[in-house]
Amino acid sequence: MVVLGNRVFPGGIPSRELAARLETGRALYAAGRARRILVSGLAQPDYDEPHAMAAWLEAHGVPAADVVLDLGGYRTAATMADTAALGVRSILVATQAYHLPRALYLARHAGIDAVGVPSENGRRSTFDQIRTALRETLARAEIVVEVALRGVRGAGG
């Protein structure tokens, strides 16, 4: 299973959305639905989503040996390309429902049979909901064009 990255606050504290994604991954792992959890996100010297995600999972009972870090997953397309490069052909994807269509599209174009598992959105203001809907609409249009022109690795996040 793959848990897609999201914002991490100073001290490696996951944002509410990221914590919900991690909880989805942890619950599926605990239920025996996933043998390993691939955590993927932006990794830079001063900002590191994958290591923060791994630390959260380990603190919540997932053995370190079952957590795989993708340090190149700075965008959803990169995550899916990296996952395919690992030889994965079938995977569960944990992210919020608004992000699943884009994530699954990119997974399928990377040759992965992906099933989305929606994570909680949490309480969001009307403004945040509208902003997210607009962002996703534009991002979906962008990836269709980018996949057509460059393939999955070059497509948007």
Q: Which helix (H) or strand (E) holds 124?
A: none
Task: Report pLDDT for 121.
Answer: 78
pLDDT of residue 75 exceeding 80, the answer is: yes
As assigned by CATH, the class of the 2-150 domain is alpha beta
pLDDT of residue 155 exceeding 70, the answer is: no
Domain borders along the chain are: 2-150
pTM: 0.83
Task: Report pLDDT for 135.
Answer: 73
What separation in angstroms does the CA of 107 have from each of 24, 101, 150? 19, 10, 15
CA distance 157 to 153: 10
